[in-house]
Amino acid sequence: MNSEKENNFSEPLALEGLQAFYAAHMKQVVESLLVAKCRFPAINSEVDPAVNYATQTNSEGRVVVPGLPEGAQNYKLMVSKSDHTTEQTFDVLSDFIPDPDHTHLSMLIGEVTQKTFVIDLASSLQITFEEGGDSVENYCEGAPPQPLAAIDYSLRGTKTIGMDDVGDPVYVYDYAGASDANGQSNHENLVWDTYELDLVDGVVCDIKETSLIRPVTINPGEDLAMTVKLVKHTEVSLHVTVVDTAGLAVDNATVRLIGDGADETLGTGPWGQILFADLPANDQFVLIVQAPGYAEWQDNVDVEGTSLVQVVMSSL
């Protein structure tokens, strides 16, 4: 179940009326600002009289609805605004149980329920898949086609809205699809979150490097573009990302991998990534990273199938 909504609200109180508050994240600032003129429908067809109420928040980002009929977890609320993400409560289904933050509200006689929604300026991410191989031996699709169409992949955030019927999390954004005829895919109305991109099992390619460090953090109101370079899939490989303590890619790093039947050295480019492809076997390897201006990094890494590791370099 896909949903492009994210919220954060206070513990509900019981109610004879409803007070709703709307706040927007401001980039990486923890504080929130109240959002005026949000669209706010409140719906409950299970009470008598039925409620189908629509209004807008005031200049303080607030809505107060007095005198609502009593109801138990059956008041459906949603908030939206142009150029912002949408937030709402959800029905309990046979295959989906919303978490307490996303469950419909209850209204109790003589009391007031308070709820705070958090919406963000909508963000977007455009992904372009390109050939990263340099010869017919390691081209992603055996030849250098441009663009790389019909690449199956997934893009998932970290924020959740509940669980499915087997107890697995249901994410705010959880996409599975393929690149279009131009090797691209556009993701709109993204919430402020950190997103992981992976190729789907069965794809005959591996990710060599990406123009944005994975996982990708997308802030409110950002429109990002990400290039993904692909090469031919091999059964055992290690993708290494080298960053500094600020999370920025480290260019010109020397990365050496040593193990049984393997001793290979590669260098990072501007994107700070390399791929050790076609390793002899699943095993533990020694990884050594050196870069001008940074302390040497060394550790053991376990490689099984398609593996990834991120190395954080400390300045001298």
Are residue 98 and residue 149 in the same domain, yes or no?
Answer: no
Domain that holds residue 290: 234-316
Are residue 131 and residue 190 in the same domain, yes or no?
Answer: yes
Q: What is the CATH number of the domain that holds 92?
A: 2.60.40.1120
* CA dihedral for 298, 302, 304, 307, sign (positive or negative): negative
Instruction: Encode pLDDT of 235-261 as tens digits.
Output: 999 999 999 999 999 999 999 999 988
The partner residues of 103 in beta bridges, in order of sequence, read 90
Contact predicate 198/210, CB 8 Å: no
> Alpha carbon 76 to chain centroid distance?
26
Tokens 């260019």 found at: 251
Q: How confident is the model at residue 18 (pLDDT cuts 50, 70, 90)?
A: low
Prediction pTM value: 0.86
91-116 burial, b for 16+ CB within 10 Å, e for fewer? eeeeebbbeebbbbbbbeeeebbbbb
Instruction: Encode pLDDT of 74-121 as tens digits.
Output: 999 999 999 999 999 999 999 999 999 999 999 988 888 888 888 999
For residue 304, tell me if it sits in a domain.
Answer: yes
Rounded CA-CA distance 175/171 in Å is: 10
**Which of 233, 250, 267 marks a domain boundary?**
233
Mapped onto helix, strand or coil, the DSSP state of residue 101 is: helix
**Which of 119, 137, 152 marks a domain boundary?**
119
What separation in angstroms does the CA of 200 have from each of 153, 191, 291?
A: 5, 23, 33
For residue 222, tell me if it sits in a domain.
Answer: yes
Are residue 115 and residue 85 in the same domain, yes or no?
Answer: yes
List, in order, residues 6 or more apart from 26 with CB less than 8 Å away.
32, 33, 220
Are residue 220 and residue 299 in the same domain, yes or no?
Answer: no
Are residue 214 and residue 253 in the same domain, yes or no?
Answer: no
Whether the ω angle into residue 147 lies within 30 degrees of 0, i.e. cis, is yes
Neighbours of 294 (CB within 10 A): 19
Mapped onto helix, strand or coil, the DSSP state of residue 35 is: coil
Give the helix, strand, coil percentages of the chain, each rounded to 5. Answer: 0, 55, 45
Instruction: Encode pLDDT of 166-212 as tens digits.
Output: 999 999 999 999 999 999 999 999 999 999 999 998 888 999 999 99
> What one-character-per-residue DSSP string does 168-216 give?
-EEESSEEEEE--TTSEEEEEEE-SEEEEEEEPTT-SEEEEEESSPSSE
Instruction: Encode pLDDT of 23-79 as tens digits.
Output: 554 333 333 456 667 787 888 899 888 989 888 888 888 888 888 889 999 999 999
Are residue 171 and residue 257 in the same domain, yes or no?
Answer: no
For residue 164, tell me if it sits in a domain.
Answer: yes
Rounded CA-CA distance 90/95 in Å is: 12
**Which of 233, 261, 281 marks a domain boundary?**
233
